[in-house]
A = this chain, B = another copy of it.
Amino acid sequence: MNEPFPETKTHRYQYDYPRPAVTVDIILFVFQEDQLRVLLIKRANDPFKAKWALPGGFIGENEDLYDAALRELKEETNVSNVYLEQLYTVGKPDRDPRTRVITVAYFALLSAEEVAQQEVHGASDAGEARWWDIYDLPELAFDHQAILDYALQRLRWKLEWTALGFLLLPSEFTLSELQRVYETILHEPLDKRNFRRKVLAAGVIEPTGNMRAGDHRPARLYRFTATAVEMEQARRRFP
């Protein structure tokens, strides 16, 4: 073996002009225990050691941005069936004190069913990972608070104009559960009758015929319709 560099040295990539490092960070939203939560990872190293940060990492040499986000998500949370949408690209020169980093932020929605199936805690090699209530966050590393604020803004907006709410729920859900998702994300109470009329009129959900037995009167279960899913799939990607 005739390595060009000794083993203790890393390989060097050389370019004629300076290049920034490019990462993807992911804002992964879930709805658990009547809370809207995001996944954060406690940083093991400086800078911002012991602060919480969005999961993410460097893009591969021959990897599409979307694929990189999927891969990071898979590495961190072991989920693959997820709604993923590009959010924004940040690139202030000093946002990472080590080197120039440009970050393409994605936001992701994970259904409750998949959250239950996955073991997310400690899944990261970057440090401790846990879910945080969006309305009770710790101090965040880098400019991640601003990215998260923007993600929440976009999520709210999409909720009002598209039919994204059910992506955070299991495949069968009651209208009250759906309403709680909306109320939690929008952070305001909604009128029950108007909510039901509106969501039913939109034609994005249909009754499954099943009922959810509970402590009290059983509730009709709904699923989202195939066309609603397709519409979101079509909208989510560039262009």
> Which A residues form the contact surface with B (CB < 8 A)?
10-22, 58-59, 61-65, 86, 88-93, 100, 102, 104, 146-147, 149-150, 153, 238-239
Q: A13-B15, A89-B89 are in contact. Are A22 and B102 (CB under 8 A)?
A: yes
* Structural contact, B22 and A17, CB atoms closer than 8 A: no
* Structural contact, A91 and B238, CB atoms closer than 8 A: no
Copies of this polypeptide in the complex: 2
* Structural contact, A12 and B16, CB atoms closer than 8 A: yes
Q: A13-B15, A13-B16 are in contact. Are A91 and B62 (CB under 8 A)?
A: no
* Structural contact, B14 and A13, CB atoms closer than 8 A: yes
* Structural contact, A13 and B21, CB atoms closer than 8 A: no
* Structural contact, B238 and A146, CB atoms closer than 8 A: yes
* Structural contact, A147 and B239, CB atoms closer than 8 A: yes
Q: A89-B65, A91-B64, A239-B149 are in contact. Are A58 and B12 (CB under 8 A)?
A: no
* Structural contact, B61 and A100, CB atoms closer than 8 A: yes
Q: A206: shortest Cβ distance to chain B, in Å? A: 29
Residues of B within 8 A of A14 (CB): 12-14
Give the residue name and chain of the B residue nearest to A104 (CB).
B89
Choose from B22, B104, B239 the contact partner of A19 (Cβ within 8 Å): B22
* Structural contact, A20 and B17, CB atoms closer than 8 A: no
Give the residue name and chain of the B residue nearest to A20 (CB).
B22
Q: A27: shortest Cβ distance to chain B, in Å? A: 12
Within the assembled complex, what's the spacing in Å between the Cα atoms of A146 and B239?
Answer: 6
